[in-house]
Structure 1
């Protein structure tokens, strides 16, 4: 490992330690911090123990000096001369004593035998200076280099003729303090070592859930988004972290799945659009090359070929128009919401359908089979009309010729707080409903869930005899969604398919209050007539010309 050096090439240990600390694991940092705190506690404990123990021993020495001052004073006074260290009695042989006159001159003292023995360096104090000290004990040095000091206290003699200095060596105190300190430090270091081992084991066990989280995250990073973190105790930090990670992973998995589904739909859309556009282009190109190479010379054949080219061009143009419509709907452009009555649109759709399919029995009725009623809503009339037209055209195209078709319209009550079949929350108390009911073969449940997808056809062979582009119902679903409505496919009782569109109902009286007196009662939207008296009268069916057949419009 390269050492950290400064620009002058010198080793920088603190920077190296800081780098090692930052790169170490959290478990290592916790153990090191625990060990450091334990060592600090040992040092503080040893220092406090040594200090308190020394204070106690010194206090005992001070008490001993105070208790034996009279004995030492009497003994020294009776000697009158320097007789060496006390030979009698044995209780005062431990003390060093010294008599000084009032001027601080030593008159008598006790001494050790031998010239190299240690003795205290007692200060020379006058009588007044001794009184100022107040008999307080103090430390002094010894006369030898190996001396560890003495404890001295000085008193005024009762006779007033001088003062007494009495002392004890501090070496026993220091020896006792050293032994106790060594014992405390040794025990503290052993305790620190044991605590470090225990801390390492505990942190290793405590970090096992985090290691599992790490392994799970690595598996997720490798692409397995279905993996989840094992939940621990919910009230712990690891438990809360696991719960949050699992919630985040669920959102990520959902987002990735939605992204994949969106990309798959986009690829499918591009493939289908290319497929749908390629077919008319191949037809146009084939007839053009056939005509250019002289393969068509008869005027009737040329006319038929031009008719096929024109038909394919129209179908391709219709496909492009549908694609542009879907693109504009995907942009979510704001709509012009104005009052629209679905009954009037249904009435117009019945008239148009009778013209396009004169062989069909096409009727307008209410949702319950009775007379159709007004169904006022708000929206873009042109787009809602396109919805109805696409649904009617789709029903005529995919149901057998000669079968009846009903267009039912009306309003239904809904419960507050309920939801539609697609899960959308119901906000109002009523819905406007328009249904297109055919009596054909119907649609399988598997196909019914996908009929509103773009380019989807229930016919898996993708035959185009019906002339559709596969975008009509996708456009219907997009327009209805923009109007906060829903569209669904149900089975018609007795056989067939029913397309049901629900849109929010609005109170027509509120719209009438906003109109001027000249406008009220004359027009609802885009030239729609007043329906207060009931639905418009549908004229009788025109007679069918001999030989007329089914005419379909592209949707």
Structure 2
């Protein structure tokens, strides 16, 4: 009874039952009204004839004698509880409402019953409206008429056939209604089972997904109604989003585990070196001043390395939170020329070519762009020989600006090129923390831009950064502190 099919069936059956009851009531009331109208018309015609034709008492006596004689010829005329089934009754009554004996003929039981059934014959005659009376358990319609000499007569016609017909019609309607209700219940159950099959498919799909099958989808049906098909499409779209979100979460968790493992590994090396030198110093094994100086130098170097690694990790963590950038108009050409000056100061023997003439404004976070340029140049210095030529370029394209840092170094294999922006990735286990290019990509992504590489073994490496001029696509919840 709690299923949707059962409730739909109950609702349909209840509505049909109400309709059948209403239709039967209207039809029976109409039939009763029509038959009673015919009976009342006949009684009214007889009443008007009696009053209009002005019958004399002799005529009334003759009619009464004839009526009594006919009444007595019927079986059971002396039993008021089992009166004969005559259709019409005629009786004359006195002022007290008692039936009058006409001549030698006494009123019959039916005539007495009619006189007793009418409380005020004079009032009935004066009103002229038919009234319902019961004679020996049989329903009648009665009217009164006043003759020319003041005598009151009562006329009654049986309506038993009407009530019998109504009972038969009611039984027929009830039987037919029961058959219709049963047929409707069966058809509704079958139709509901067929129409609700897509919902059962959805339940099966949801159960399968709850058991771990995230690839399960609700199958389509050719005869599905519009609302069910819309629900199926929406549910499949939601399941696709859930599956994508679950896969993204798994990838994020996997990246986080690798990130934590790599960070732990990178921090373990300087910490181990610092701990080793401190133990040597604590045990007095660094008695020679030169050895102490060299040890303290190594401790400071490892401390600086660990400090840079922590700073880079904090920078990546902030970028992962999509920080609110401090945007303003920045001259990218000026930043490129300043980065070139820094490279000349740090590596004066390296051939350097700069193509960044004239102002090239872009709406961006200046500190972030400086970090991008600094990391790209540091990547060139660390991973290429000092004599390797480097080219820095900045140019405007349709709706964006492009920054390109190109070296003519050894280049990368296709496998390494696909992982160059991964965190803690270092080609051949080389120097550096492996976070520089990861920070570059994070900063560029935060600006709504793109970064790509073009490289091949022996063909050098070109890193291309594309940024929107107006900062389109930049947004996200604010994070504390600058990049």
Report the TM-score, using the length of structure 1 for normalisation. 0.71
Q: Structure 1 residue 436 and structure 2 residue 442: aligned? A: no
Instruction: Name the SS of the counterpart of 1:57 in structure 2.
Output: helix
Q: For 2:191, which of 197, 202, 222 is the aligned residue?
A: 202
Specify the SS of the correspondent of 2:426: coil
Distance 1:234 1:194 in 2: 24
Q: In 2 relative to 1, CA 394–106 (structure 1 residues): closer, same or farther, beyond 3 Å?
A: same
Contact 2:86 2:158 in 1 (8 A): no
How far 1:273 moved relative to its partner?
0.8
Any conservation in 1 of the 2:198–2:224 contact (CA below 8 Å)? no
1:229 matched to which residue of 2? 218
The separation in 2 between residues aligned to 1:123 and 1:385, in whole angstroms, is: 117
Q: Is the aligned partner of 1:56 residue 2:34?
A: yes
- Contact 1:99–1:106 (Cα < 8 Å) also in 2: yes
Counterpart selection for 2:169 from 158, 174, 180 = 180
**Are residues 1:140 and 2:125 paired?**
no
Query: SS of the residue aligned with 1:245?
Result: helix
**Match for residue 269 of structure 1?**
259
- Cross-structure match for 1:389: 374
Further displaced range: 117-126 or 171-180 = 117-126
- CA-to-aligned-CA distance 1:156-181 (integer Å, 9 cap, x gap): 33x44423312123333322221111
1 CA distance for matches of 2:402 and 2:348?
26
Distance 1:197 1:35 in 2: 10
**Inter-partner Cα distance in structure 1 for 2:362 and 2:40:** 107
Q: Deviations over 1:311-365 (max 9, x none)?
A: 3222212212212333344455544444433333323333332343344322223
Deviation string for 1:426-453 (max 9, x for gaps)? xxx3x33321101123234444344223
Across the aligned residues of Structure 1 and Structure 2, the Cα RMSD in angstroms comes to 3.6
Verify: 1:193 aligned to 2:187, yes or no. no
Aligned to 1:399: 384
- Superposed, 1:119-518 pairs within 5 Å as 119-120=113-114, 121-123=116-118, 125=120, 129-134=123-128, 136-142=129-135, 144=136, 147-157=137-147, 159-232=148-221, 236-289=226-279, 304-330=294-320, 332-365=322-355, 372-412=357-397, 414=398, 429=399, 431-459=400-428, 463=429, 465-466=430-431, 468-491=432-455, 495-505=459-469
Distance 1:234 1:477, change over 3 A: farther
Query: Which residue does 2:476 correspond to in 1?
Result: none
Instruction: Verify the 8 A CA contact 1:98 1:108 in the aligned structure 2.
Output: no
Shift in alpha-carbon separation, 1:62–1:376, aligned structure 2, 3 A: closer
| SS at 1:441 equivalent | coil
Q: Tell me the TM-score normalized by structure 2.
A: 0.80
Residues 85 and 96, structure 1, Cα contact 8 Å, conserved in 2: no
Distance 1:219 1:249 in 2: 12
Asked if structure 1 preserves the Cα contact closer than 8 Å seen for 2:419 and 2:425, the reply is: yes
Query: What is the CA–CA distance in structure 2 between the aligned matches of 1:125 and 1:311, rounded to whole Å?
Result: 131
Q: In 1, Cα distance between the equivalents of 2:280 and 2:67?
A: 151
CA change 1:302–1:67 in 2 (3 A) is same
Whether the 8 Å contact between 1:86 and 1:93 is mirrored in structure 2 is no
Does residue 100 (structure 1) correspond to residue 93 (structure 2)? The answer is yes
Q: Tell me how far apart the structure 2 counterparts of residues 99 and 334 of structure 1 sit (CA, whole Å).
A: 112
| Higher helix content, 1 or 2 | 2
Unmatched segments (≥5 aa) in structure 2: 75-84, 471-483
How much does 1:280 deviate? 1.7
Could you tell me how far apart the structure 2 residues matched to 1:498 and 1:103 are? 131
Post-superposition offset of 1:275: 0.9
| Aligned partner of residue 423 in structure 2, secondary structure | coil
Q: CA deviation at 1:274?
A: 0.7
Q: Structure 1 36/410 Cα, relative in aligned 2: closer, same or farther at 3 Å?
A: closer
**Map of 1:78 onto structure 2:** 62
Q: CA deviation at 1:399?
A: 2.5
Q: Indicate the larger mover: 26-35 or 480-489.
A: 480-489
SS of alignment partner, residue 410 of structure 2: coil
Shift of 1:88: 11
**What CA distance in whole angstroms lies between the structure 2 residues aligned with 1:42 and 1:300?**
113
Partner SS state of residue 118, structure 2: coil
CA contact 2:405–2:464 (8 Å) conserved in 1: yes
Taking the aligned partners of 1:334 and 1:93, their CA distance within structure 2 comes to 105
C-alpha separation in 2, matches of 1:75 and 1:214: 90
1:185 positional shift? 0.8
Distance 1:116 1:94 in 2: 11
Report the Cα distance in structure 1 between the residues aligned to 2:130 and 2:117, rounded to whole angstroms: 12
Return the alpha-carbon distance in structure 2 between the equivalents of residues 310 and 262 of structure 1.
35
Deviation of the 1:152 alpha carbon: 1.2
Distance in 1 of aligned mates of 2:468 and 2:161:
102
Work out whether residues 488 and 499 of structure 1, in 8 Å CA contact, stay in contact via their aligned partners in 2: yes
The corresponding residue for 1:539 is none
Give the secondary-structure state (helix, strand or coil) at the position aligned to 2:214: coil
Does the Cα contact within 8 Å between 1:209 and 1:238 map onto a contact in 2?
Answer: yes
Relative to structure 1, is the Cα distance of residues 341 and 250 closer, same or farther in structure 2, using a 3 angstrom cutoff?
Answer: same
Q: Is the 8 A contact 1:439 1:497 kept in 2?
A: yes
- Are 2:67 and 2:90, in contact at CA under 8 Å, matched by a contact in 1? no
Counterparts of 2:297 and 2:67, CA distance in 1: 152
Contact 1:440-1:497 at 8 Å conserved across structures = yes
User: Matched residues in 1 for 2:462 and 2:195: separation?
Assistant: 62
**Cα 1:46–1:348 shift into 2, 3 Å:** closer
